[in-house]
Amino acid sequence: MINVDNNDTLNIMPWKIRLEASSFCQLRCPSCPNTTKAIHPVVGSGFLKLSDFQKIIDENPWLKEIELSNYGEIFLNPELLEIIKYAYKRDVALKADSGVNLNNVRESVLEGLVKYRFRSMTCSIDGASDETYKVYRVKGNFETVITNIKKINLFKQKYQSEYPRLNWQFVIFGHNEHEIPLARKLASELDMNFYLKLTYDDKFSPVRDQEYIRKLVGAASREEYKQKYGVEYLHETCHELWDNPQINWDGKVLGCCRNSRGDFGGNAFKDGLLESINSEKIKYARDMLLGKKAAREDIPCTTCSVYMTMKAKGNWLIRPPLSPGEFEHEYDLEKLQIITPRKRDFKMLVTPKFIGHYCENVFEDFISDLLMLRSWIKNKAHSRTMWVKKVIKNRINMRKIETRNNAT
Ligand code: SF4
């Protein structure tokens, strides 16, 4: 039995969740916690069952979007095609933007992604040649991945569909930094968004041309990013505790995609989704991240570097003043789908130094503006930054006025 705290108003009812389809992976990327087995005590090894997926959707009809990827490879789940079909039937958008390696996928599944409007997928491809790709994606094959992407594109033509939108994620290492321009070009030819990411393991093949990487992503390592901006790289992950909590393949509530330290109690399949994501423990964690409560030993965040940096700097998470579930009514899901793959582009355009936490907290407000920005992304690299800054300033002013009006 989980301990649900109903004594305050902070229960959440998000319209999207993260639900891992598979914690198995066939590759052996050297730094991955799946390879090192660091995640195994809590995450374990398994596949999301179709029956559990159906239960979650049937019992929570307000759910509009589910992210399926996290630690493992979703395409290893033998019931994936049925899961995709069921989501389509129930009008729930599926995404795999935490990453897929796309090495082993059945043709029927590739077709199903397009036919059943799988919304977006991020492919982890750290190189532009097989030789380079294999250094980190051990047991993977670059050509196979590219062939699978081409097949998806052919199905997109056949079904006259823009889905799934494809992203190319390139984790930067010393051994692959020279292939960034070629990978970017290939991504464009394959109609994929391209973005770069700093590795979390600075010891494995550290970047060589630090100045070059700094120019591209603002810092040459995650540690440098932290020193420069006062927050952990990808620190926005903590918002998942409110906006799209991570549920493990077996129903355990992990809260965010980064957490493999322990769960928050409760099981989304057995105890109910809302009960599990509003347990006493996870609500306490939310208060901890806002700086309202002290660290507690049984809360997984307590030993997470993101929380520890926040605590050390007193740089607590700031949440927008919106009520839970409000996004569901305010925004059109199709628009969100268009915007989501661009969120990372957006974060690169506006440096954390300029906008700090604020940019993330009012991010949802920018959706309509970003729809316009979308057409700028490809060609007007120089002027778009100024444009975004202008939009943000306006939005912040609007928010200040709203807050003032609400207070009076
Ligand atoms: S502090 Fe760490 S574990 Fe907790 S929500 Fe943030 S990223 Fe996840």
Contact indicator for 7, 317 with CB cutoff of 8 Å = no
- Which residue, judged by its Cα, is nearest atom 5 of ligand 1? 238
Q: What is the pTM of this model?
A: 0.79
Q: Kindly report whether the peptide bond that precedes residue 245 is cis, defined as omega within 30 degrees of 0.
A: no
What is the arithmetic mean of pLDDT over 336-346? 36
Ligand 1, atom nearest to 232 Cα: 7
Is it the case that residue 8 has pLDDT exceeding 60?
no
Ligand 1 atom at minimum distance from 235 CA: 7
Distance between CA atoms of residues 224 and 218, nearest Å:
9
Residue whose tokens read 């268009």: 338
Contacts of residues 228-234 at CB distance under 8 Å and 24 or more positions apart, as own/partner, are 228/353, 229/351, 229/352, 229/353, 230/313, 230/315, 231/309, 231/310, 231/313, 231/315, 231/352, 231/357, 232/305, 232/306, 232/309, 233/198, 233/200, 234/258
**Torsion sign over Cα 15, 18, 22, 26:** positive
Q: How far does residue 306's CA lie from ligand 1's centre (Å)?
A: 6
188, 118 in Cβ contact below 8 A? no
- The predicted-structure confidence for 128-165, as pLDDT tens digits, reads as follows 999 999 999 999 999 999 999 999 999 999 999 999 99
pLDDT value of position 366: 47
pLDDT for residue 396: 54
Tokens, residue 371: 């729809």
Q: What pLDDT, on a 0 to 100 scale, did the predictor assign at position 122?
A: 96
| Residue 23 predicted with pLDDT over 50 | yes
Q: Whose CA is nearest to atom 6 of ligand 1?
A: 238
Chain-wide mean pLDDT for the chain? 82
CA 300 / ligand 1 centre spacing (Å): 8
Q: How far is the CA of 257 from the centre of ligand 1 (A)?
A: 8
